[in-house]
Every structure is written in structure tokens, then in C-alpha cells.
Amino acid sequence: MDFIEVNSEIGHLEGVILHTPGQEIEQMVPDNIHEALYSDLLNVEVASREYADFEGVLSKWTKTYKVRDLLVKVLEQKEDKMELLDKVLQAEDKLFLYAELTEKTPEELADILIGGYHYVEGCHPEQFRSKRYVLNPLYNLFFTRDASSTVYDKVLIHAMSTSVRDRESYVMESIFRHVFGVETINPKAVPGTTTEGGDVLIAREDVLFVGNGCRTNKAGIDFLVKYFATRKERQHIIIQQLPDKPDSFIHLDMVFTMLAQDRCMIYEPLIRNVYGNFGVTHVEIDNGQIRYHNRNNFLEAIKHVGFDMQPVLCGGDDLWHQQREQWHSGANFFAFGEGKVLGYARNRYTLDALDKAGFEVLKAADVCSGKVKMQDYDRFVVAFDAAELPRGGGGARCMTMPIKRRKVEW
């Protein structure tokens, strides 16, 4: 691919980065589960089978890239390998590993950077004996959305909210700089700044939707506002405040995702601000001038920038079902074309709501086997079975990092 470009959430997908969950997700134990940002232990064999249908659907539609394959390409170049290794080991205070890791092949080192590096008796400091790993596995890497975001023709390398995920950002930055040759935007350079990709939705060439919560803080929002204020183009940023608890509200895309020009998926209590607790701010940037406007709710705010969208309700009309299905990423859909979306089959009331809204419900297994062709339908949702994957705390959008989409004619 010669260039990177994403100008919307719904343009026809032409390239996406994925990572199949591997042994790294089975290296958690109850003692480190919360440090790893999980609430339960996952079974890798079941999760991998579920992921196969998810990936299979996307590979029927577009070019897919794997993080490990791209990382190997980085590590094949000696200078790039040394640069990445130095950055990771300095950040994690593990420079004593430098000599032995530089001797590893690109394939071996890629597996170590992703899957972790075991403690060796008599070789590594005694303090790591009880932890089993000298370098921790990247437990969350299959959520490829979070560490980087394609924002128009550049890539935003996120300043992660927890240090356990910092290495993901370093890996993705190396991939984009050295494999794709893309200019990156780095909020981590500003102390105290945190941003994550689940909070950044590219709505249109001049509009971003951004979540402000436990993963993307006010300093992160300020960084984005100041960055766009340095550009000549007019830009709007619609900011939705999110609750810190429970964990199902960690990102904006857990309560709002775009399905088509005229349709979106929402978790109604929050997006319509039913309880009046969470504010919405419209930031208007024009030739360096910044203006702030308070809005009553998210749907009203996006109307001010030309998005008159009919919402489909996560969980349907019943608050009980809405709460249950939002917990397992019922609002977290990934659009790989306008009106062409992918999500979990377990959220049946949400799928019923999509069906009533004119989206044909297709089974991922039928798409993967060739029994059903997505191209035969105008609007559809491909539903893939998942019991283990949702327990990781994310959905279809979380597990995708688009790098190329066709432009949408608005």
C-alpha cells in the first residue's frame, strides 16, 4: 500500500491491521488480571476459533495485515530493530536484556515483544522469579484500535492510559514509520496526556467525535484541539464525557458507532443524556481560532455539524436489555462500508433492532464458507459467534485498525 488515508468511519475499507489473540492472553493469572486490564481469564483456543470467523469476514472484503508480520519487517532492519528495542527496554527499565535480545532473529524477537520473555533462573534478576516474565506479554494487543489511529493522512500514536500497554504504541509507531513510511502524531510527548483509539472516531474530513473518560483525559483532548488549531483547515471536535465506571464505558465506541450516513448505533441512556450527568462539548476550530459550545446531548451536537442520524438502540427498547448488551460491546460495531457492519451475535436484541432498521442479519460462518455473499446485500450486519472475545472488554471496532478507506460522498 502506497499511502494511508481514513476520512470517515464508514468508507469502503481497503486495508486493516489485525492481531489474532495468541498465547499472550493465557499468561494471565488471578494475581495479575487487573494489572492486565481484564476482569476474567480467557481461553485462547475458544477465542482463536471465534476470531477466525471475524477475520474471515474481513478477509473476504479487504486486504488484512497482521501486527506480527509487520513487526518482523521492522526487526529485519538492524537500525530500526535497535531503535525499537532501546525504546522499549528504556521505558520498561529492562536495559539489562539488551545484549541477549539483540541476538534474537526478527521472528524470535517479534514473538518476545508480543508474547513476553520468560524469567531464566541464574540469568535474570531474582526479583522477576515470582512474576514468571521479565518482559510481560501484550495481553491487549488483539484490540489493535487502541494504540494507534489513522486520522486522515497521518497516524496518531496514542499515549496509553496505563503503562502495561505502552509497548503496543512503540510497536505500532515503528510499523507506521518504517514499514508504511507515514508521519505520526505523538501526544505522549506532552506529559500527563492520555489518548486511546477507541475514543477517536473519524466522522468526516472536518469532524472528529472524541470520548473523554478514564482512557482519554482532558490533557489528551487539549492536545488534539491544539494540533488541529495549527492547521489551516476548519475542524470540528464533538466531545462526549464518559463515566469512569463500570469498565464497559472505557471508550466512546462502547456507546456510539457509525453504521451509515444516516444511521448510528447508540447506548441510549448515555448518548441521549437521559440522566443529565455527562456533558457534551462542541469545539469549533477555524483558522486557528477556537470556540467552545455546550450541547444538551451527543445527537444534538452532531446535528450542528451536519449529521442528522437515526439511532439504532443497543439492546433495543428495554433498559434491562440495553444494560446487559452494552456490557458485552453491544454498541461496538465496525463498519467496513456504508451500511455494512460487523458485530457480536450474542447481542440478539441489538441485532433485532438492526433488522428492524433495514439491516439484513448474516451469519459470519455462512460468509466465510461462501454460502452467503455480502456483495448481494445493500445494508447488512455480519454477526459472529463469540463467548470468550467479549470477556476481553471490547468488540469488532476495538479489534480493527483501518489504514485505508475510500472517500465518502456526503
Domain boundaries, the chain: 13-71+138-187+311-405
pLDDT exceeds cutoff 80 at 2: no
Q: 239-293: per-residue pLDDT in tens?
A: 999 998 888 999 999 999 999 999 999 999 999 998 778 999 999 999 999 999 9
Q: Which CATH architecture fits 13-71+138-187+311-405?
A: 5-stranded Propeller (3.75)
Higher per-residue pLDDT: 21 or 30:
21
Q: How confident is the model at residue 121 (pLDDT cuts 50, 70, 90)?
A: confident
Query: What is the separation of C-alpha 355 from the centre of its chain, rounded to a whole number of angstroms?
Result: 26
Query: What integer is the mean pLDDT of 204-213?
Result: 97
Tabulate helix, strand, coil % of the chain (nearest 5): 35, 25, 40
Residues 6+ apart with CB under 8 A from 19: 66, 67, 68, 114, 141, 142, 144
For the chain, percent of residues with pLDDT exceeding 70: 99
Cα of first residue to Cα of last residue in the chain, in angstroms, is 25
pLDDT exceeds cutoff 60 at 10: yes
pTM score of the predicted model: 0.96
Q: 391-408: per-residue pLDDT in tens?
A: 999 999 999 999 999 999
Q: 83-111: per-residue pLDDT in tens?
A: 999 999 999 999 999 999 999 999 999 99
CA dihedral (218, 242, 343, 202) positive or negative: negative
Residue 47's alpha-carbon distances to 51, 102, 348, 385, in angstroms, are: 6, 32, 20, 10
Q: Are 35 and 56 in contact, with CB atoms under 8 Å apart?
A: no
Q: 134-189: per-residue pLDDT in tens?
A: 999 999 999 999 999 999 999 999 999 999 999 999 999 999 999 999 999 999 99
Higher per-residue pLDDT: 122 or 141:
141
pLDDT exceeds cutoff 80 at 1: no
Query: What integer is the mean pLDDT of 290-302?
Result: 97
Residue 322's alpha-carbon distances to 264, 293, 361, in angstroms, are: 15, 29, 19
Residues 6+ apart with CB under 8 A from 385: 50, 53, 345, 346, 364, 365
Using CA atoms, how far apart are residues 99 and 175, in angstroms rounded to an integer? 23
- DSSP letter for 13, please: E
pLDDT exceeds cutoff 90 at 233: no
To the nearest whole number, what is the mean pLDDT of the chain?
A: 95
Closest CA to 384 of 59, 22, 13, 12: 59
Q: Are 285 and 236 in contact, with CB atoms under 8 Å apart?
A: yes
Residue indicated by cell numbers 500500500: 1
